[in-house]
């Protein structure tokens, strides 16, 4: 299997994100690029994230949690720190 060199194609230029191929500067080199996935626009990603957050906000809250501070103390089960005895 031939070596691969990860990079990002931006404005028809490749920015290498890992090891660069061993090519002398100023030398033209033929390359083969395989797109593994279609790039989403940032607005599409933002809209998808907003939809997920709306679904998360619609989930029912934990109604058994009447005293969140007491719940946190019970959950954390603090231990005394060395040299800080009361």
Domain count, the chain: 1
Q: Is residue 81 part of a domain?
A: no
What is the residue-averaged pLDDT of the chain?
Answer: 77
Q: Is residue 24 part of a domain?
A: yes
pLDDT score, position 55: 92
Read off the pLDDT band of 86 (50, 70, 90).
low
- Can you read off the two tokens belonging to residue 11? 């404005």
Q: Which residue has the higher pLDDT, 34 or 71?
A: 71
Q: Is residue 6 part of a domain?
A: yes
Q: Is residue 11 part of a domain?
A: yes
Q: Is residue 18 part of a domain?
A: yes
Q: Which domain holds residue 28?
A: 1-36
Q: Is residue 86 part of a domain?
A: no
Tell me the per-residue pLDDT of 53-81, one tens digit each, with 9 for 90 and over: 999 988 887 777 788 888 888 888 767 77
Contacts with 7 (C-beta within 8 Å, 6 or more apart), sequence order: 14, 15, 16, 17, 18
pTM of structure? 0.32
Tell me the DSSP string of 5-23.
--EEEETTEEEESSPPP--
């Amino acid at each position: 299997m031939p070596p691969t060199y990860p990079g990002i194609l931006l404005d028809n230029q490749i920015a290498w994100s890992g090891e660069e191929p061993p090519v002398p500067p100023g030398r033209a080199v033929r390359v083969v690029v395989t797109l593994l996935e279609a790039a989403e626009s940032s607005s599409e990603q933002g809209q998808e994230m907003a939809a997920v957050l709306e679904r998360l906000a619609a989930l029912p809250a934990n109604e058994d949690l009447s005293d969140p501070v007491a719940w946190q103390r019970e959950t954390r089960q603090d231990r005394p720190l060395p040299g800080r005895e009361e």
